[in-house]
Structure 1
Amino acid sequence: MLVSGNLLAGSYFTKNNNACLWFILALLNGLIIGLPFVFNAFYIVGWFSLAPVFMLAFFMGRKRYSLYCLVCLFSAYAVASHWLVNFFHLQGMSFLKAVAWCSLYWLFMSVTLAALLLFFRVLVERFSKIVLPVIFASVVTAHCAATSFLFPANWVYSQGEFVVVLQWVALLGEYGLMFVMVLTSAATGCLLMRFNYRRFWGGLIALIAFWFSPLIFSQTLTARAIKEVETVTLGWVQTDSLPGQRSKLTNYSLANPIELQLSMAIADQTDVIIWPETGAKELWSNTHFHSQLNEFTRSTGTSVVLQDIRREAGRSYNSLMHVAAGQTTEYYDKRYLIPIGEFIPDWLAGLGADEFLLGDGGRFLTEGGRDVDFTNGKFLWRSRICYEAFFSSAFAAMTKSRPIDFATISSNQAWFNSASQVDLMKAVSRIRAVQLNVPVLHVNNNGPSWLFDADGHELTHSPAGVRGAFFTTVVVPKGR
């Protein structure tokens, strides 16, 4: 529908020289191309929004087609740059440095895009329409191969400025990443077409200012709004060893598990302790453990957020239980279930089933039905489980008269043999910190774990594969 609408509009504008409507159409088409950077629907939005740009080559002359591409892709460039600068800014760069790095990276992509647009127009005039998709796919493939050579994975791993590129590769695959890059890197390349683009400079400057102004305004507003702060001390435990080792902990006692021992070591210094699910599952169903945990929180005054399998009315939930002052004050059942790595019942495990092949796909876990925030009377925080971190709605669904002070994420075996999973977990935790404008603690039971401030900057971390108890202090806004 989008394609046919653009084709009809393009045919109309070739017969009626209405520059204003033509400019608006190109502008909207460019914004649609930029939508993948807002909603993360890279493949669907990317392909369907690009189709009109290339199809219009059959109906427009070369000059009008080039101008259409100029406005359209400048619009997409503005959206994508705003998104990309945010990511570079999360790496700890200043705003100006983030803009500079963003510009340098797009410069490399722009040359390819300029050549691609002009080359496609020449192909329309000289070759059969049936051959064009094959040629186009070959050009994109060659570009992907060239980019892989210029930005090898091992080099990217060591460069904080380009870690976001690695995260995109892991999420999209290299072809999807490069496809989106080519679509939205038009700034320098389109200027090389040397057509009459001067009339669009005013609109271009206004568009770029429009997309960058919310970022500047929001950061200035936040800095002015926070005048008073409080300090909260957060603790967490890691008990599993290196990734990929699925054996249960040895000498694990339900009466006094290692996590409880580690928690006792930091209880006097901490307000809240995050305890992710580990090798010994379903501790929560053990009554003796209940009494031990209740006594621990009563005697120390520390709150504990425990992740474990919770059973109720014949159903199993992946849950977070908040225990404070000797009682369970609240629990949260995971609402966003994934098809692997969650939970399988004991009878199925006895048959040799692998939880990383079945998990929620067998519907052995029940989806939670409500959103919950935890409080210990002094602080209010939001806790979520593992891959819920990738769902913005898991954090933004609730509205409170009082905003939360911080957020936590608990992960069981959050990564295995691929270091890119660590980058993804780290990046998404930073995104949530900026989204919520509060500190975020992401605890992995096999490490690493991270604490980020409200601007997405890493404050501290604990290493991977190390068993131990950790705690740190973080400043949170007061009376917001």
Structure 2
Amino acid sequence: MSLHSVFERLAARPWLAAFVFGAASALALPPVYALPVLLLTIPGLLTLLGRAKGWRQAAWIGAWFGFGHQLVGLYWVTHAILTDVAKWFWLVPLAAPGLALPMGLYSILPALVAWRLAPGWPRVLGFAGAWVLAELLRGWAFTGFPWNLMGTAWAFAPLPMQPAALIGAFGLSFFTILLAGLPLLGARRAFGTGGAILAVWMGYGAWRLQGLPPQGTGAQLVLVQGNVRQDLKWDPSHRAAIFQRYVALTSQGAAAAVAEHPEAPVLVVWPETASPFLLAQDPEAIRIATEALPPRGLLLAGTVRAEWGPDGRANALANSLVVLDADGQRHGLYDKSYLVPFGEFMPFGGLLPIRLAAGGMDFSAGPGPSTLPLPGGLPAPGPLICYEVIFPGEVVGAERPGWLLNVTNDAWFGNSAGPYQHLASARMRAVEEGLPMVRAAQTGISAVFDRAGREVARLGLGETGVLRAELPAAGPPTLFGRWGRWIPGGILILSLAVALLLGWRRPSQV
């Protein structure tokens, strides 16, 4: 059976064809990075939209494409249910579709825009611009969830990521969709235009990488990956053993760093909520944790923090990062601001009684991105807890940090695509901001990337140990770092304006 006949059979059922194209397009995302598949799926979708008999059918085609795309891209959310399958077994078949359905609805917008535009350049250009608009909306509405932006399909290597320093991941999404739609313009235009775009794209990447040679600060990083299973993490019978594992790994990694670099300061990082005790407030836990530090060492540790009421009960909780020195003195504290629905707070006023994380109290949100000054003139980090790192243009506060620090607990994702997708987003933020990205993950993947997104070191998924590396130096502020989402916003406005001028079709012409 030829490819043409397969497409014709699918076209007879446009909703099924759209779902298949959407599901296949997710293969372009991490960790598969099968970018060429978009050269089939995006033209296939636009062809279906061109054949749609009305705006309702076009909307359904867009929704089915989005549902398939998000279902394959977000299948890993089921692993969060499996951490307590006895309690949440009934959610197993619902979790991934339940998230993919609302996320997939954002694809209706670019589908309707493409349907109303004439074939050729107007439809391709307008669809690319509207796709980015939908991604921007998805990253903002209902607290936002800009996971798996199409631009992260280039996060497999430093070279193709470099234009993100100018236009961000949203801008990369625009040109990715634009390139994928070019086959609809014919072979000559597709090869000519696509070749020119890729030549400029990769040429800029090579030029930028050459102009930003690897540089270090001298400070030594020790990232501790305790590799604690999520179902054991808050078990009271395992608290002491988990804490001792982190202390022992800290002592081991710090000793190795001092032996190799006796004069260098040592920055030890524990992942999100690594401490099973309230490390910012528990004197005994602080004493034990900091005894493992060298004299010039600092511990930057993820921990839950509580605020106590007059009755001695906790009346507020925060997902925090605390900075402690070798004497147990606190030098900084950061509270997570972007909280996870159904994990750290109950959305919709608790109408859906689903709380996957332990405990019965919502976490309180912090004020937002900030910079934590460190003693001794060390470069100050910009902390990002868990999925705060997935928000382009929202990872740096008013004061530019010297590096970005992402502490996370990806044990929720299991051995799935989730940790790799999360890692790709973190890597993209390094390029966008021109800042090193240091990532400590509970079960992996822990990694260090320099200001250009080059990998300095990595500790794989499911490994227990420490990752040591020199803290890379910051680069100059990037264009995207200065202007943020205004840049992809301008790109989408310009593309939509040109597409509308070239080929807006009146209802009678559709």
TM-score (norm 2): 0.52
Does the Cα contact within 8 Å between 2:382 and 2:405 map onto a contact in 1? yes
Task: Report matched runs for 1:130-141 at 5 Å.
Answer: none
Give the aligned partner of residue 144 of structure 1: none
Q: Residue deviations 1:117-173, cap 9 Å, x none?
A: xxxxxxxxxxxxxxxxxxxxxxxxxxxxxxxxxxxxxxxxxxxxxxx9xxxxxxxxx
Change (3 A) 1:478 1:378: farther
CA contact (8 A) 1:408 1:441 kept: yes
Secondary structure of residue in 2 paired with 1:369: coil
Find the counterpart in structure 1 of residue 371 from structure 2: 372
Structure 2 residue aligned with 1:307, among 299, 302, 312? Answer: 302
Letter in 1 for 2:382: R
Change (3 A) 1:84 1:429: closer
| Secondary structure of the corresponding residue to residue 185 of structure 1 | helix
Number of matched pairs:
329
Residue number among 249, 255, 271 corresponding to 1:262 in the alignment: 249
Q: How many Å apart are 1:386 and its aligned residue?
A: 0.9
Question: Which position in structure 2 is the counterpart of 1:386?
Answer: 386
1:381 Cα shift? 1.6
Q: Which residue is 1:316 aligned to? A: 317
1:384, distance to aligned residue in structure 2 (A): 1.4
User: How far is the alpha carbon of 1:315 from its aligned partner?
Assistant: 1.8
> Would you say 1:239 and 2:226 are equivalent positions?
yes
Determine which of 309, 333, 336 is the counterpart of 1:334. Answer: 336
1:332–1:368 contact (8 Å) kept in structure 2: yes
* Corresponding residue of 2:464: 467
Aligned partners of 1:90 and 1:455 also within 8 Å: no
* 1:188 to partner: Cα distance: 2.1
Secondary structure at the counterpart of residue 371 of structure 2: coil
Partners in 2 of 1:354 and 1:51 — Cα distance? 34
For residue 284 of structure 1, what is the aligned residue in structure 2? 280
Q: Secondary structure at the match of 2:417?
A: helix
Give yes or no for contact 1:241–1:466 (8 Å, CA) kept in 2. Answer: no
Cα deviation, 1:45-68, whole Å, max 9, x if unaligned, reads: 643344244245xxxxxxxx44xx
Query: Displacement, 1:89?
Result: 4.9
1:317 deviates by: 0.9
Query: Using the alignment, how far apart are the partners of 1:433 and 1:88 within structure 2?
Result: 16
* Structure 2 counterpart of 1:476: 473
More relative contact order, 1 or 2 (CA 8 Å, 6+ apart): 2
Name 1:48's counterpart in structure 2.
109
Gaps of 5+ in 1: 1-32, 57-64, 99-163, 165-176, 345-352
Matched residue type, 2:281: S
Q: Could you say which residue in structure 2 is the equivalent of 1:19? A: none
TM-align CA RMSD:
4.7
Q: Which amino acid aligns with 1:448?
A: I
Q: Show the 5 A alignment for 1:137-216.
A: 185-191=180-186
Letter in 1 for 2:157: G
**The residue matched to 2:280 in structure 1 has which SS?**
helix
* Distance of 1:469 and 1:259 partners within structure 2: 10
Q: Retained in 2: the 8 A contact 1:228–1:478?
A: no
2:287 maps to amino acid = S
CA contact (8 A) 1:240 1:465 kept: yes
Distance across 2 between alignment mates of 1:478 and 1:436: 8
Distance 1:391 1:85, change over 3 A: closer
CA deviation digits over 1:395-449, x for unaligned, max 9? 133333xx51x22211124443351112211211111111222221221112231
Code of the residue aligned with 1:92 in structure 2: it is A
Give 1:73 shift: 1.2
**Cα drift, residue 300 of structure 1:** 2.2
**Matched residues in 1 for 2:435 and 2:227: separation?**
28
Structure 1 residues 243, 458: closer, same or farther in 2, change over 3 A? farther
Distance 2:150 2:388 in 1: 25
Indicate how the Cα distance of structure 1 residues 471 and 228 shifts in structure 2: closer, same or farther if over 3 A, else same.
Answer: closer
Give the stretch that moved more between structures: 263-272 or 276-285. Answer: 276-285
Specify the SS of the correspondent of 1:300: coil
Between 1:419-428 and 1:406-415, the stretch displaced more is: 406-415
Does structure 1 retain, via aligned residues, the 8 Å contact 2:446–2:467? no
Retained in 1: the 8 A contact 2:451–2:472? no
CA distance in 2, matches of 1:281, 1:226: 41
1:246 positional shift? 4.8
For residue 477 of structure 1, report the CA deviation from its aligned partner.
4.4
Residues in 2 aligned to 1:307 and 1:235: alpha-carbon distance in whole angstroms:
14
Distance 1:228 1:453 in 2: 8
How far did residue 318 of structure 1 move? 0.8
How many Å apart are 1:309 and its aligned residue? Answer: 1.1
Alpha-carbon shift at residue 388 of structure 1 (Å): 1.1
Change in Cα spacing, 1:343 to 1:445, as seen in structure 2 (3 Å) is farther
Shift of residue 367 of structure 1?
A: 0.8
Partner of 1:396: helix, strand, or coil?
Answer: coil
In structure 2, runs of 5+ residues without a counterpart are: 1-61, 67-101, 133-147, 164-168, 259-265, 309-314, 347-352, 478-510
- Distance in structure 2 (CA, Å) of the matches to 1:238 and 1:249: 20
Q: Given residue 285 of structure 1, which amino acid in structure 2 is its aligned partner?
A: Q
- Maintained 8 Å contact 2:275/2:303: no
Q: Taking structure 1 as reference, are residues 263 and 354 closer, same or farther at Cα in structure 2, changes over 3 Å only?
A: farther
Structure-2 separation of matches of 1:185 and 1:227:
33
Following superposition, the deviation at residue 44 of structure 1 comes to 6.2
Max radius of gyration: which structure? Answer: 1
2:155 aligned partner: 90
Structure 1 stretches of 4+ with a deviation exceeding 6 A read 78-81, 83-86, 180-184, 207-212, 225-228
Question: Residues of 2 paired with 1:393 and 1:431: CA distance?
Answer: 11
